[in-house]
Chain A
Amino acid sequence: MIQAQNLSKIFVDRKRGKVKASDHVSFEVKEGEIFGLLGPNGAGKTTILRMLATVMRPSEGTATLGGYDIVKQPDQVRRRIGFLSGDMGLYHRLSPREILSFFGQLNGLTGPRLKDRIEEMVALLKMRDFADTKVDKLSTGMRQRVAIARTLIHDPPILILDEPAAGLDVPTARVIEEFILEARKSGKSILLSTHVMEEAEFLCDRMAVIHEGRVKIIGGMEELRAATGKQRLREIFMELLSLDGEFARRSGHAS
């Protein structure tokens, strides 16, 4: 469903000069699979997701989503993706129904089909009590449900989720996790980025560890364990980032 080939992005920063936010990144996400991009802050995860969501053009390389090229056919790609980020990006002065209607229409839904789909989403995500209240007045948990409904309104086969549970408390994050697992059941391809090890370990079928724009390793938990000789993802991660040794040295010094 998603195939990234040598996806690269170079930024020119006034202070740091040329920065490779993504350096020849290649991976594949299959149908009904949850694939995680795992990396510390600033590793380049968001840049990769933005390129796949067609809001940023790659400097080099490309990717196909559902068979469509992100550079040559961005319109086709956009129709097939649902994009969600941790800060949700909801219009605070609109109500959930208005938001769903807007994004539904942008995705080509009209008339009774649009209406039915909105009601379906309202029922599915249990939003009936606040579907006509402005987002401004909603709790974080409610907003998260609105954001999920917006991502799913056009029933896209591919979901791109940028740190979807960042900054959420456990019960709210749980809503997101259930949504992601549910989406996998219905055969969607899900690409998500995270720096939370537990989340990745719990959700992802396979993952790519990203550091300084480069892919360090790709595989499922077993493959990662085999490659590093470590059990917990946290240890695997530190090992791969080769920060482990330094970390031990530092803590040893402190004691």
Chain B
Amino acid sequence: MRLNLVPVIYRKEILDTVRDRRTLISMVVVPIVAMPLLFFVIGHFMSSAERRAGEEAVTIAVRGGEALPGLLDLLKESGFRLASPEDIRAAMDNKQIAAWLEPAAAAGGATEIRIYADETRQASELAARKIQTALDRFKQDKITARLRSMGVSETVLKPFTVKRINIAPEKKMAGFFWGSLIGYMVVLLMFSGGMYPAIDMTAGEKERRTLEIFLSTPAGRNEIVLGKILATTSAVFVTALLSISSLLVSFRYSSFGKSSQRMKETIGRIPLDAQSLALVILALAPMAIMAASLMIAIALLAKSFKEAQSYLTPLVMAVVFPLVVGMLPGIQLTPLLALVPLFNVCQLIKEIFVGEFSWAAFAVTMLANLVYAGVAFFAAVRVFKDERVLFRT
């Protein structure tokens, strides 16, 4: 093997790749533009929907409120605007009111207050929740007043109180969030970012009839495949780095409305020190080689760019499955699971971010992915040596 030719081939592939508009779009424009756009659009919709829901949720109706003295005053105090439409159902459907409540007689002479809400409507759901809170306070006040009139302390009803405290440090919470998101997004984008370069270097070369000339030069098949895989790996890596950066930057400058402000503050503490970052990049390396080799091997089977696209698109979609499993909470990276490609990287990245990974899991993951990368690499070389594939007509 003449290794000195590999950089020559690599440089040519990179030059050819960066001059291809299609590739540039999938590799650079998508991560840089799509991510902020996604965040901006989601943020915009979330905050405006929240605002609208907040405004809508204020207006409610009460049927037969007189039955319960003090109820109407309480609701007014709680900030509700009380409407009295003739047809309550129609008012609900026209979104003139967000919910309505109606006291009814229940068993044992007690009163049951029914809250009618349309839980598919955000405003209605929100109103119901607020009414519930107001009524709980109303009930509590009534109980307290009665106990006081009987000379009993209200602590009788509360032998103890319960408070839940989250001891996970905020850094860990942020790590969990970012680890899940970055693992998922980056791995997915790595595949989609490497797809066009991989196709262009294989099926594209076949289609443009340049491959035959290339193969008749002193460059051996191994050198050619290695050069192409390294170039695709670079594309995959550039996509990964661009998408991580873009993700972090867009997050920082987007807004999600008031209620998610706290969430934003928590996960805004991005737990990214040099060591974690280095480990994440290290963990991604064998996976990038595997992804590149796999896509090169598959795209090479095709006669044309279009055909290769139809082979690789399902692959990119299939990648989602192990990734989604990795997003589920409660899944730990056991040594056995560390053998599952893609899933293992996502999981490892999550654990690195949380700061709870074990070196054993890290080693198994790296080793397993290196083996997969090696297998994919040799598969690509094998396909490249198969003249039935190269000269398919």
Contacts and interface: CB of A to CB of B under 8 A. Distances in A.
Interface of A: 50, 53-57, 75, 78-79, 81, 83-85, 87-94, 98, 102-103, 105-108, 134, 150, 160
Given A56-B387, A91-B16, A93-B16, A103 B209 contact: no
Nearest to B212: A55
B209 A89 contact: yes
Nearest to A76: B218
Contact of B391 (A50, A83, A134): A50
Given A50-B212, A89-B208, A89-B209, A55 B12 contact: no
Contact of A83 (B8, B16, B213, B390): B213
Nearest to B223: A106
B218 A94 contact: no
Contact of B12 (A54, A75, A84, A94): A94
B16 A107 contact: no
Contact of B5 (A53, A93, A106): A106
A81 B216 contact: yes
Interface of B: 5, 8-9, 12, 15-16, 19-20, 208-220, 387, 390-391
Contacts of B215: 54-55
Contacts of A55: 212, 215-216, 387, 390
Contact of B19 (A56, A93, A108): A93
Given A53-B212, A90-B210, 16 more contacts: A53-B216, A55-B215, A55-B390, A79-B218, A81-B216, A83-B216, A85-B209, A85-B212, A89-B209, A91-B210, A94-B15, A98-B15, A102-B8, A106-B9, A106-B218, A107-B217
Contacts of B20: 93
Contact of A89 (B9, B15, B19, B213): B213
A81 B391 CA distance: 20
A94 B212 contact: no
B215 to A, nearest CB: 4
A85 B216 CA distance: 12
A159 to B, nearest CB: 11
Name the residue in B212, B220, B387 with the highest tally of chain A Cβ atoms < 10 Å from its Cβ: B212
B326 to A, nearest CB: 38
A98 B210 CA distance: 15
Contacts of B208: 89, 91-92
Closest 4 A/B residue pairs (Cβ):
A93-B19, A83-B216, A89-B213, A53-B216
Contact of A56 (B209, B213, B219, B391): B391
Contacts of B9: 106
A102 to B, nearest CB: 5
B210 A103 contact: no
A94 B209 contact: no
A89 B217 CA distance: 13
26 contacts: A50-B391, A54-B216, A55-B212, A55-B216, A56-B391, A78-B216, A81-B216, A84-B213, A85-B212, A88-B209, A89-B208, A89-B209, A89-B210, A89-B211, A89-B213, A90-B210, A91-B208, A91-B210, A92-B208, A93-B20, A94-B12, A98-B12, A103-B217, A106-B5, A106-B217, A106-B219
A85 B391 CA distance: 15
A165 to B, nearest CB: 16
A89 B214 CA distance: 9
A160 B218 CA distance: 15
A79 B213 CA distance: 13
Contact of B218 (A57, A91, A98, A107): A107
Given A106-B219, A107-B218, A94 B213 contact: no
A13 B16 CA distance: 34
Nearest to B390: A55
A133 to B, nearest CB: 13
Name the residue in B19, B214, B218, B387 with the highest tally of chain A Cβ atoms < 10 Å from its Cβ: B218
Contacts of A150: 213
B383 to A, nearest CB: 15
Contacts of A79: 218
Name the residue in B9, B209, B213, B387 with the highest tally of chain A Cβ atoms < 10 Å from its Cβ: B213
Contacts of A93: 15-16, 19-20
Contacts of A103: 217
Nearest to B21: A93
Contacts of B211: 89
Contacts of A102: 8, 12
Nearest to A13: B393
B379 to A, nearest CB: 20
Contacts of A81: 216
A78 B16 contact: no
A81 B9 CA distance: 19
Nearest to B7: A105
Nearest to A47: B391
B212 A75 contact: no
Contacts of A106: 5, 8-9, 217-219
A55 B221 CA distance: 10
A211 to B, nearest CB: 20
A190 to B, nearest CB: 15
B384 to A, nearest CB: 12
Contacts of A78: 216-218
A75 B217 CA distance: 8
Nearest to A83: B216
B207 to A, nearest CB: 11
A50 B219 CA distance: 16
B228 to A, nearest CB: 14
Nearest to B211: A89
